Every structure is written in structure tokens, then in C-alpha cells.
Structure 1
Amino acid sequence: MFLRNCWYVAAWDHEVADRLMPTRILGEDIVLFRRTDGVVAALEDACPHRKLPLSMGRIKGDTVECGYHGLTFDSTGTCTRVPGAEKIPHVACVRSYPIAERYGLLWIWMGEAAKADPDLIFAVDHWGDPAWGVNRGESMALDCNYLYMTDNLLDPSHVSWVHQSSFGGVQAMEDAPLETTVGVDGVTVWRWVVDAAPAPFYAPSSNSPAIATASSTTRCVTRPTRSSRRSSCRHAPAAKASRCTRTCSSWTVTIS
């Protein structure tokens, strides 16, 4: 059983460009594609005629053409063409899914379309602010129950030993106490590491803004096949000439 009336991350935004992208979310096969106006659409990945995956077909303008008999579907899942037929059967349609593009990610609503409100996607503070840095990590597909990932992400105590070349590697982090905050739709485990250099993953690059060099926060979003990370400093002072001198580390698992 899955929670369906909530947003899931379907892909990175750059993964859906000029090709059909198949994916599976909550056990459902879905195909993603980008229309000519740049808007991303998501359809059930099965032609109703012979159930060939639409992802094996091709993009034709703002529509997807089935690679078997040429049935064509628009971004709403409506069949717009059946080669050789004068009338399109009303049953010739596929399910479409609401999509929201935010924070460099494509979010998909798997439940009742009428309840899909993009404002329900959690906010990433300071996203798009040039004074703040962004760390982009690759996604990982793990063949395990999501509860194991939840357990891992809510256990920052292992970071200093397992992730010394990325999230860990800071001596002061080993003895920093952990705090837990329980919210309405999630649990946050966090800690302050004060007056210490940032971990390698958050270390400033040569072209990073000076203001975003000394601290970071990591938020991890659970979903069946991918994980995404974003980082930002919560303590950057208003004066851009100054630097934040704290290092923070926190993991948030959102369970809607």
C-alpha cells in the first residue's frame, strides 16, 4: 500500500529533454516527455490498444506516438489520432499525471488529480538566490525497502565514520549532540557543529560566493527509486561581506 495523494520526485529536470523517459513510481509505469513549450507531461506508459509501452514510441510535437500502430496521445492522455480510423474510440486514452517543476526536480502527483496542489511541496529556503550555494548530488537506486533508507537518513551518528570523504571528515562532528524534531509530516534529526571547517561535500569551490562557504544543511527526500539532496546555509548574515562561521548538518525525511 502506498501514500498516493502526495508529491514524489520523478526525475531531475535535465533528464527530460528531447526524448521519452520511462520510469516506475509506486509500481506504476510512467513515461515523461517535454512539450514544445517546455512543460513536462507524464502519461501512463502503456498504449491501450496492445499495451506496448509508449516510451518505445516517439515524440511528435506535443504528442506521443505509439511505436506499434501509431495511436497518438496528447499531454492530457487523450488520443488524437488513430491511423486508418474515421472515429477515435472514447476508450482510447491513457492516464495523465500532474507534474510540477521545482528546485531542479520534476514532482509527480500519484493520487487524485483534483487534489494536486504544488504548494504542498516543501519549501527550499533561498532557492535561486545567487548569494547561496547549491550542491547537486547524483541519485541512487537502492534495491531495498524504503524503511531501511528512512532509518539510515535519520541516523547522522554514522556520518563521521562512513562518509569521511563527503558528509563527514569533521572531528568536531563526532561528539556533537543530536536533536530530534517531530513535525506534522516528517521527522528532522539535526545538530550544530560550531566553529569547524565544513565537510568536503560542502567545502567552497574556487568560484563559490564568499557568503556561502561556511555552513550547510542537507535535506533528503525519500521516494521508491531515487533520492535528492540540496544544501544551503541557514546562518548567512545579511552583510554579504561577512562569512557564516558555523557548520550545521541535518537530515530531513519527509513522509507525506
Structure 2
Amino acid sequence: MGSIKLLINWIFALSFYVWLLAGIPTLTLTQLDIVTRNGLHVIDGIQWTGPVAPGGENYTFFGDIEHIKRQIESTPGFDPSVFNVINSAIVDKHDPLMKRAGGTYNVECTRSSDPKKGAILTGYLVALKNLQDLHGSCSVTGPVCKRFSCKQDGSLGLCVTRKTPFNIECAEVARIAQILFDTMLRDFTGKVPNKCRILKGDKKSAIYYSGDVHWSLDGKWWFISAWRSSCLLQPWLTIPSPWPQKASDFIINP
């Protein structure tokens, strides 16, 4: 009798477990697309290094641009005038990756009447504005595409295809991203015919944009990307502990 009762309880437990699994939502292809960009895994947030006051020592923070700015402003000794500093004190002018990017660039741009294929320009422009007054170094370690700013459905990312750390001035990221948006704006007004490939719709209905700027450094292994991905889907980013982080506390692995 006891063994029969145990069997019945086991059957009920198994049925309940199967019912729970059936109720767990599975990721659809559309949801999976959100975490990739040009075949690279998308991670929210970059590594930022720079001073919180002009001439001060460097700190290292992580997150998207707004998250990093909040960390800068919350650090003891913060001076608002640091956001007016154009050139970062951490830049090594002998490091070719930290110089102003030279050479040519290739803009790849598409637009569509399907909102799932791109975002409207205003979202990208607001996301870019958040970056324009950010001093210091923006860093990622590939292969990855890291989203550094987002507004509504307009996501901006710094992407690296090699398995290597990549450092560039945040101001330079903003400058290159501006090239992409200037191309989109000129195309939208008809000043650059056929510059952006139309995926769906016509020039009047195709108002959703996505695109990349591939730079000419060493085989185009890094680029800046603009695509549609809802900002609300970004995970919460936690401030690392201990905080604040001094840049001198970090050891960069070769």
C-alpha cells in the first residue's frame, strides 16, 4: 500500500513539473535576433576610462553612456567642467588605435517601411547626443558588439570582430557615428540618391533606418552600428564593487 501511494505521489510530482516547463516561454527567432548584430553577440555597455575632474586621475566604469555619466557625477571630486574637456588625458598618441581614425570609410545603410527592420532617425540622433560631450576612452573586447547608447528603438553599438581589446576616444566614436547619420539624413532629403538601400516600401514610406560605418583600419575589423532594438529590453547594469574604480587598479591581460 505504501509503495502504491509513493508511486501516485511521484506521478503527481512529475505531472506538476511537466506543467511548469510547458508554461515557461521559449525564445522565438525574433527575440533571439535582438541579441545579435551582424553575427556578433550584443552586450549592453562599454568600458569607459577617464578623469572625473579636469587633470584628475583616471577611473574606469562600465555600462551604457547614461549609466557611465551617472557614475562619473556620483564620484567624489566630480567637476562638471570635465565634460567640456575635448581631448582625454589618457590617450597615448603613439597608439594607432587611440589616434583620430584616418583613411576612408564605407557606409552601409538600409531603410524600410517595416519598423522591425530599423528605427526612426530621431532615436539615433538623441542616442548620439548623449555621447557627444563624453571625454575619455571607450573600450570593448571582441568579438562582440556592445551597445553604448539607445533611445526608444534606436540602438548604437561599437563592434569588434577580432578577439582583442579595442580602445578609442569616445569623442571619436561620436564623430564617426555622425558620418553615418549625416548619410541617412542626406539620403532622406534626396541629396544622396541610392546611398541607402531600400529593403521594403518606397522613399516616402521607408522611414526606418539601420546601418554601419566600417572603418579602413586593418581590414575593417571594427565598426559602428545603428539598428533597431528596444531600449526597454536592455538588462539592468550593476555598478561593479568596489566602487569607484580607479583605472590604475586594472591589469589588462595580453
Smaller-chain TM-score range? under 0.3
Identify the structure with the greater helix proportion: 2
Structure ranking higher on relative contact order (CA contacts 8 Å, 6+ apart): 2
Q: TM-score, normalised by structure 1?
A: 0.24
Q: TM-score, normalised by structure 2?
A: 0.24
